[in-house]
Structure 1
Amino acid sequence: MTFQIHALSPEPFETLLAMDDAELSERRACWRTADCEPGYPCRVSLEDAEAGERLLLANFEHLGEETPYRASHAVFVRAGARQARPEPGSIPDVIGRRLISVRGFDADWMMVAADVVEGANLDATIGTMLADPDIAELHLHIAKPGCYLARATRA
């Protein structure tokens, strides 16, 4: 099954990226500086920041539908990041080098499948899950901190 990985759009973060520290604090956001590589994955570019690079750390609602699984979590965004558009069937390195929690949701946004897999083996898990007609899309999270990373759909 061919799949498509989807990065976040930069649009929801544009206003935040122009704010000072006090304004960001009021919106549950702040600046962080990458102190290692890899370690700070931008959810827009789907690339790890370089050591010394400054990133926005903000709360982002990645599942906003009215469901028991409604969810938000912290995400990193690089200033000036362009939205990644991976080729169908490809896994960006930022995902492939991490332990990934894969969560399958149906059309009513109920979780109907889940697994944890090394990113290097993720394509097989995505293919198996998306072969299930009850699964509408997958959410990919970095397993250890639990942070939302991207989503996957049928291509």
Structure 2
Amino acid sequence: MTIRDGFRLTALPADTFAPLFALGPIALAERRIQRLTADGPGRFCRVGLDHVATGRDLLLLAYEHHPAASPYRASGPIFVGHGAVRADPAPGEIPEAMRPGLFAVKAYDARGDIVDADIAEGLALESRIARFLRRADAEFLHLHFARRGCYACRVERVD
């Protein structure tokens, strides 16, 4: 495995969230979802792996990003932009919108337990990802925004 092409970031599927944009305020509130308008950078869409453009609609909702039958099972808040198209980064590609960020990188084993974790700047993600994926017990990784702890995306091995 090389650092440049031994991994792929996986965005969330758009079709999971698209129907939610058709819901009215009461139905959204019942699901504890907030409809917002992006007011500047910082609203990172987990489907498009990019910032939602200023003035665009988005949803803020709790999402179970780690449904493992493990003590590490986890959910948390994410943003999804209206009309977002699922990003499909090439192997080894880190989207430009992630470069200025600070991330918690978490390595999980086949049971869904954390086997390693560290912090990395967006400019150094490739080396941290490669280090964790060299572990025989690391099945996949999650990237979280370090300051607020919100899930960003999953990282898978590619051959």
Asked if Structure 1 and Structure 2 have the same fold, meaning a TM-score greater than 0.5 normalized by the shorter chain, the answer is: yes
1:24-53 alpha-carbon deviations (Å, 9 max, x no partner):
11111011121122x001000111012222
1:105-126 alpha-carbon deviations (Å, 9 max, x no partner):
0001000000011011100000
The code of the aligned residue for 1:9 comes to P
The code of the aligned residue for 1:151 comes to R
Q: CA deviation at 1:54?
A: 1.5
Check whether the contact 2:69–2:111 (CA below 8 A) recurs between aligned residues.
Answer: no
The code of the aligned residue for 2:100 comes to R
The code of the aligned residue for 1:32 comes to L
Equivalence for 1:30: 34
Equivalence for 1:93: 96
Distance 2:9 2:33 in 1: 26
1:151 aligns with 2:146: no
1:89-128 matched pairs, under 5 angstroms: 89-128=92-131
Distance 2:52 2:82 in 1: 11
CA RMSD of aligned residues (A): 0.9
Distance 1:31 1:40 in 2: 12
User: 41, 46, 70: which is aligned to 1:43?
Assistant: 46
Distance 1:3 1:44 in 2: 18
Q: CA deviation at 1:95?
A: 1.9
Q: Helix, strand or coil: the match of 1:117?
A: strand
Q: Helix, strand or coil: the match of 2:18?
A: helix
Equivalence for 1:73: 76
Equivalence for 2:12: 8
- Extract structure 1 runs of 4+ deviating beyond 3 A: none
Residue identity over aligned pairs, in percent, reads 41
Q: Helix, strand or coil: the match of 1:25?
A: helix
Report the count of equivalent residues: 154
Distance 2:75 2:144 in 1: 11
Output the TM-score relative to the length of structure 2. Answer: 0.93
Q: Helix, strand or coil: the match of 1:81?
A: coil
1:104-150 alpha-carbon deviations (Å, 9 max, x no partner):
00001000000011011100000010011100000000111110010
Structure 1 residues without counterparts, runs of 5 or longer: none
Q: Helix, strand or coil: the match of 2:51?
A: coil
